[in-house]
Amino acid sequence: MPKRPNQHQIASQAVAAVRKLWADAGAAVDELREDYGEDLLVQPSIDGKMDAARIWVQVKGTSATSTSKALTPSVRIKAGQLRRWLATLDRVIVILWNVTQEHGWYLIPAYEVSIQHLGQFDDDRPHKLAFNKEQNFDAESVAYLLWETRIAHADESIARFRTSGDQFINNNAAWDEHERSELNALALDHALRLMQNMGMIRIHPGQGLSFTQEFREIIKRAVNKHDKRAHRFNGDYSKFAGAVALESLLIQTKIAAPSLHGLPIGVLREMHAVTLSLLDALE
């Protein structure tokens, strides 16, 4: 009778364990049958609503029992595969899962290797990627990775749509105002969806936007705090409102996604503009 190689069993166990962690966090997870370098497609969601962002996951399984603290786990991936991953706008994550210890580590290739460095490698030549042993793959890191991916996708999308709109304007291209407005609307929509997911605003189709009650309370506290330092603004309302909006955004971000270390400047700028416009409407 045919026998199943041990490595195949390890690989299946590793994929199943990794898939469960993503699914337990509320993501939709599809196991890929065709092997093009990825094992799982992870689609983040919040409150049952799917995100635009996607995560491709490659799972490496091991059963090594070494407990040496000096041993740094690593994997080898062909340069051609890495080039393909660096070219996509989707997030790609590599996970090494130890089926014996029921423990894993993760890395994001886009943060570990550059396309310039890969220039010296043939497509079929393996490239070593070392895992940071502090980057454990567990429920906490899954929550972080879902938010990190969601925000990175919004940031890249905003930058792409805003830059495209600016280029058409600067080059006096034969695009009408509607088409330029559509690019700006696409950029704004990414910011609005992110703010909604973070519990900052409610979107009322056909009626506009409003702050959530939770975010209103944060804004009130920021207003009271900065009002006591009004001399800093010399009566300049725009500076005062700007400081209130910025502080409120950072506080609510920390509440919604405590593992994050801040927001990309493009996303923050877009969210700040939305917050200021709603603050003005309250005046």
- Residue range 185-230, pLDDT digits in tens: 899 999 999 999 999 999 999 889 999 999 999 999 999 887 766 6
Q: Is the pLDDT confidence value at 235 over 80?
A: no
What span, in angstroms and rounded, lies between the C-alpha atoms of 113 and 82?
8
pTM of the shown model: 0.86
- Give the range among 46-50, 186-190, 197-201, 233-237 with minimum mean pLDDT: 233-237
What span, in angstroms and rounded, lies between the C-alpha atoms of 202 and 205?
10
Per the model's pLDDT, the better-predicted residue between 28 and 71 turns out to be 28
CB 225 within 8 A of CB 251: no
Q: CA distances (Å), 95 to each of 14, 75, 136, 152, in order?
A: 9, 9, 9, 19
Mean pLDDT over 81-88 rounds to 93
- Which domains does the chain carry? 6-137 (3.40.1350.10), 142-282 (no CATH)
- Give the range among 30-39, 96-105, 145-154, 213-222 with minimum mean pLDDT: 30-39
User: What is the DSSP-derived secondary structure letter of residue 191?
Assistant: H
Query: How confident is residue 176, by pLDDT bands cut at 50, 70 and 90?
Result: low
The mean pLDDT value of the chain amounts to: 88
Q: Is the pLDDT confidence value at 67 over 70?
A: no
Mean pLDDT over 152-175 rounds to 74
Mean pLDDT over 29-42 rounds to 91
Residue 33: partners with Cβ closer than 8 Å, 6 or more residues away:
none
Q: Name the residue among 265, 282, 27, 3 with its Cα closest to residue 143.
A: 27
CB 165 within 8 A of CB 186: no
pLDDT of residue 201: 97
What span, in angstroms and rounded, lies between the C-alpha atoms of 124 and 104?
26
What span, in angstroms and rounded, lies between the C-alpha atoms of 189 and 200?
14
What span, in angstroms and rounded, lies between the C-alpha atoms of 25 and 19?
10
CB 188 within 8 A of CB 277: no
Mean pLDDT over 229-239 rounds to 70
